Structure 1
Amino acid sequence: MMRTALITLLLASVTMSMILPRSQASLACITCVATVKGVEAKALAEGGNVAKHDVDQICLKEVPTHNAEHLCEEYGEHEVDVIVALIKKDVPPKTICQQLNKC
């Protein structure tokens, strides 16, 4: 059991490093966590009504760097729905981003 979990973790780590360079993977995680925190505040204030363009604006506000712009654009309607649903279940931002494969 432990061996399977270790192999799975190792494969996930290798796969992520092959997809994104380490600095990009870190930037994706930082961008996601900051964005989810911003979306969380908006969702709680407005009863969970958050649209994709709201997430894009929050993302660009929270991480105002040129390198993060393309990461902000990657949030689609599906991801927005997942983010808001998990926020409503009190899932921490880092865990949400892990589930979205950003961290």
Structure 2
Amino acid sequence: MKTTFCLLALVAVATALALPSQQDNAMSCLMCEVGVRAAENPADREAHTVEDKFDAECKKELGIIPFAEKECEKYGNSKLDPIINELEGGTAPEDVCKKLKEC
């Protein structure tokens, strides 16, 4: 699982570098998937718990990118609430990012 996410992160980075116009989309998709994983467990959906999990996982996944820390923080501040709302509304975790047009 860890290898898959590292590979996904590398593919996202490579795609972002090769296709600058799609850079935001690849990063947003990856960060959305990290956000869904952080908020997937209903017991952990308190805002600060999800934010802490998201920040740690996002920085871990994107740590090779120099500006990742700021991007993770920015994404978490603006996009975690809609992710949580979708999950609480019954949207399947695998469909959340598509529904929010992040992937």
Per-residue CA deviations over 1:7-64 (Å, capped at 9, x if unaligned) read xxxxxxxxxxxxxx41111111101112212221x32xx2xx6123232222212111
Q: Which runs of 5+ in 2 are unaligned?
A: 1-20, 60-67
Q: Which structure is larger by alpha-carbon Rg, 1 or 2? A: 1
Could you tell me which residue of structure 2 aligns to residue 84 of structure 1?
A: 88
Alignment partner of 1:24 is 2:24: yes
CA contact (8 A) 1:52 1:75 kept: no
Could you tell me which residue of structure 1 aligns to residue 79 of structure 2?
A: 75
Q: Which runs of 5+ in 1 are unaligned?
A: 1-20
Give TM-score scaled by structure 2 length.
0.57
Of 53, 56, 61, the residue aligned with 2:51 is: 56
Per-residue CA deviations over 1:40-93 (Å, capped at 9, x if unaligned) read 1x32xx2xx61232322222121113222211111354542222333xx5x143
Structure 1: 4+ residue segments shifted above 6 A: none
Give TM-score scaled by structure 1 length.
0.57
Q: Which amino acid aligns with 1:85?
A: G
Identity %: 16
CA contact (8 A) 2:87 2:93 kept: no
